[in-house]
Structure 1
Amino acid sequence: MSGNTDSETFNTDELVAPEWLNAQFITKVLIEHEQASELKVTDMRFSPASAKGDHYASIMFRAKVEYTTRKGASTKSLIIKTMPEQEGHKKEMLNESPIFKTETGMYSTVLPEFERILREAGDYDKLYVDCIYHSLKPRQVMIFEDLVEMGYLVIRDREVSLEEVRSVYSKLAKFHAASMKLQQEQPAILKGYTNGTFDKRKSLEQGFIRTGMTFFVELLEKEPELRKYKEYFENIKGDLVQQLMEEWAQRRQNPQPDPYNVLCHGDFHLRNMMFKHNKATGTFEDCMLLDYQMCNISPLTVDLIYSVYMLLEPQQRRDHWEDLLKYYFSVLVGTLKKVGYKGEMPTEAGLWKRFHQRKNFHFFLLSTFLPLMYAVREKGIDVVELLQNEEKRKTTSFIEGYVKDVKILLPRWEQYGYFKDA
């Protein structure tokens, strides 16, 4: 029932499906989904649902299922997402994590409400793929329709185009706008979504979080044109993560009204979205956002800053990031007006003020996450090994493309006054 796969291409914990993921379980799921008590599974094959580097905080399988009902024979491709069961770094880091509960709530309650808000305003954009089954006990499991069967693909072997990025920002803007409307109408629905990156203390104790700035400072020393920034980062490298944690904690403990607070996606990077193109013409048709397990109430600039480092291509970061964020903002305001939002309307000046206020978040992503993004672009990269192996991780801070990026970004942030308190 399990096909042969390549361990150099796929995550090792996704090569063999767990014993509980069997015909009996899938039969139960499909009976409930299709309301067909006579349904019988006749054949089933499992394979990994994603490649190395696509994701980390879960394990995913694709199930090709053949079955019969009174209507006759049918086939269905399902994506099954669950938590890691193999002992090791991934299971240890995610043990007792709330991310699965968060994502289940998103697909079962929040995202349908967002789409209701958009539909009532005449906007028929699709924000999420249908989840046909979810459970937190006895195992954390979610099952989705297979987007690949609908023509969507993850971008791995080429750069994302400006057209595709604009589409992604449009979906994000509508997601944010719907969350602002929902906070206004039914704030209780979003009350529990408070687990962002810097709320997860256990995750922030991981070695790759703590060493990113150390390697970054070594890079600044090595490159003559970057040495003038070394003293600034040398002074903050030991406190940066702690400061970010304290900022997040203060926001949770003493929340202040802010028209820029939204439900953020929380992990807005290229591998958490899929793109669809017309098979005949190759023209772009749609994108779909994925992985809503990090969603949390935060300033909307959290997603925007994250996207600059984790979504955009180097040339887009250099030449187009301001125009892209302005486009996002235009869709946000347009959607807020369309859905009848009655709160204080955000302004572009307010957006940029908050974008530049979060310089520590910029520095964290630039020093710690961006080099990893360069690394995972390499075919067959083992993310688990990269996160655990300090020497391999250190090499990512000296990748040629990453160094070029740093040489562009630091002077830009200097122009915006990020180093005035040096």
Structure 2
Amino acid sequence: MSGNPDVTQFNDDELVPPHWLNSEFIASVLGHHEKEPVVKVIDLTFGPASAKGDHYASIMFRAKVKYTNKKGEFAKSLIIKTMPEAEGHKKEMIGGSPIFETEVAMYSKVLPEFERILRQAGDSTKLFTNCIYHSLEPHQVLIFEDLVEMGYFVLRDRDATLDEIHRVYFKLAKWHAASLKVQNEQPDFLEPYTHGLFEMPHVFNEPFMKTGMEFFVDLLGKEPELMKYKPYFESIKEDFLDRLMAEWKVSRNNPKADPYRVLCHGDLHLRNIMFKYKDPGSFEDCMLLDFQISNLFPLTFDLAYSIYMLMEPDHRWKHYDDIIDYYFFVLEDVLKKIGYKGKMPTQSGLWKRFNQHKYYEFFLISTFLPLMWALKDKLFDFGDLLQNEEKRRKCSYSEGYIKEVKILLARLDRFGKLKA
């Protein structure tokens, strides 16, 4: 790494690149991409591409390279994404899952097809960043143009604005619309993508999956305003994960001819989005990232996940309905413009679908939301949270999280979701 950065803000396994990530490899990648052999790599430095908490199931480096070819001397910044090779929790958690194969296919096959559909309708929306290289053997690696060099940034030091959140749903709706058209016209094209979060082979062995509801019920019993909800959650605590998986499988096995079944992003949280402004007051673009668990599923699962993992607390409390309605407005508009011939989803049908996955919402509130609050408050390292039971328990008692639970459970109760 160049300079003297504070290494504590980065993941340990992203401080030193693997031995194969060297000048020879980078020269080969650039030569192939530019169709002009690299004569010499003059300088090459590696550093972490992201901060702690931005991601976990991969390793990412930023490579700064200076090189020459027959056309002259050049400099590039590249983002390199690969899989954990060192033994440890990361490698164990994702072992045996097809997440990297999925992401390679997304960049090389699926998203280019989605963009082709939009372009035919005169829509120039960019759905993904340029991938200049991908490989599964001998190493799993994806290499991208560096979005930071193009003016994009990840939100870390402030909350997202309501306008920025709307922009994300604007792009997600276009993604979902294109996937519906693909399914209608090319029924087999997206069928391989059925590996979501709960299909990862080792995910239910993770301690955080087992303790989330337990800590949640404990919290309900200690907060006077929440005690009235404890009997219901106590009654489902012991077999909660079984209920969750049963609900998940019903959604997975829904008939294919379903106007709400789309290719979901699968992991739409705020650190998987980069924003760009022409100047401080003029929004230009947002870019969705990280397609490792993109999968065919009801679109309401993407939306539910994003409500708890993408929206700011104030958005969840005050603007939740309006944001989802805005998403549907864009979805419907784009479906018409791209010439979708299948059965159209409806706004009432979308809201009805939200009522069909209550255990998934309970999971997000009890298990994922306290982790997001811990990251928001910068209390713990994400890797430590996944593996340290006591730190996870403390997350369930943060002031911000408790305030949210009071609001969220009152809303779910009004919708009749807290009944057997």
Q: TM-score, normalised by structure 1?
A: 0.97
How far did residue 291 of structure 1 move?
A: 0.2
Measure, in 2, the Cα distance between the counterparts of 1:395 and 1:420: 28
In the alignment, what sits opposite 2:361?
Answer: 362
Displacement after TM superposition at 1:8 (Å): 1.4
Q: Could you tell me which residue of structure 2 aligns to residue 392 of structure 1? A: 391
Q: How does 1:220-299 map to 2 (within 5 A)?
A: 220-253=220-253, 255-279=255-279, 281-299=280-298
Residue 80 of structure 1: CA displacement?
0.2
Equivalence for 1:102: 102
1:312-339 Cα offsets, whole Å, 9 max, x none, are: 1111101001000000000000000000
Contact conserved, 1:53 with 1:381, CA < 8 A, in 2? no
Are 1:46 and 2:57 matched, yes or no?
no
Unaligned runs of 5+ residues in structure 1 are none
Structure 2 equivalent of residue 77 of structure 1: 77
Q: How does 1:294-309 map to 2 (within 5 A)?
A: 294-309=293-308
Alpha-carbon distance change, 394 to 201 in structure 1, aligned in 2, over 3 angstroms: same
Q: Secondary structure at the match of 1:187?
A: coil
Residue 3 of structure 1 deviates from its aligned partner by 5.7
In structure 1, C-alpha distance between the alignment counterparts of 2:258 and 2:244, rounded to whole Å? 19
Structure 2 unaligned regions, length at least 5: none
Aligned match of 1:148:
148
Q: CA deviation at 1:256?
A: 4.9
In the TM superposition, 1:23-422 aligns within 5 A as: 23-253=23-253, 255-279=255-279, 281-379=280-378, 381-421=380-420
What percent identity do the matched residue pairs reach? Answer: 62
Amino acid at match of 1:309: Y
In structure 1, C-alpha distance between the alignment counterparts of 2:169 and 2:47, rounded to whole Å:
32
Residue 253 of structure 1 deviates from its aligned partner by 4.9
Instruction: Describe the SS at the equivalent of 1:170.
Output: helix
CA distance in 2, matches of 1:380, 1:218: 21
CA distance in 1, matches of 2:75, 2:380: 33
- Specify the code of the residue in structure 1 equivalent to 2:330: V
| C-alpha distance in 2 between matches for 1:287 and 1:247 | 33
**1:7 Cα deviation (Å)?**
2.9
Q: Distance in 1 between matches of 2:237 and 2:197?
A: 18
Q: Helix, strand or coil: the match of 1:344?
A: coil
Distance, in Å, in 2 between the alignment partners of 1:121 and 1:294 is 28
1:138-190 C-alpha deviation (Å, 9 max, x unpaired): 11100000000000000001000011000000000000000000111112220
Compare 302-311 and 381-390 and name the one that shifted more. 381-390
C-alpha separation in 1, matches of 2:27 and 2:378: 36
Q: Is the 8 A contact 1:15 1:47 kept in 2?
A: yes
CA distance in 1, matches of 2:27, 2:376: 37
Greater alpha carbon shift after TM alignment, 256-265 vs 222-231: 256-265
**Deviation of the 1:419 alpha carbon:** 1.6
User: Is the deviation greater in 236-245 or in 259-268?
Assistant: 236-245
> Which stretch has the larger CA shift, 401-410 or 352-361?
352-361
SS at match of 2:81: strand
Aligned equivalents of 1:386, 1:4: Cα separation in 2: 27
C-alpha contact (below 8 Å) 2:95/2:201 kept by paired residues: no
Q: How has the CA–CA distance of structure 1 residues 410 and 254 changed in structure 2, closer, same or farther, with 3 Å as cutoff? A: closer
User: Matches of 1:237 and 1:2 in 2, distance apart?
Assistant: 50
SS at the partner of 1:189? coil
Shift of 1:204: 2.1
Shift of 1:94: 1.2
- SS at the partner of 2:355? helix
Aligned residue pairs total 420
> Is the 2:179–2:263 Cα contact (8 Å) retained in structure 1?
yes
Distance in 2 (CA, whole Å) between partners of 1:106 and 1:226 is 43
Distance in structure 2 (CA, Å) of the matches to 1:38 and 1:409: 56
Change (3 A) 1:299 1:150: same
The one-character-per-residue Cα deviations of 1:198-232 (angstroms, maximum 9, x if unpaired) are: 22241122000110000000110110010010011
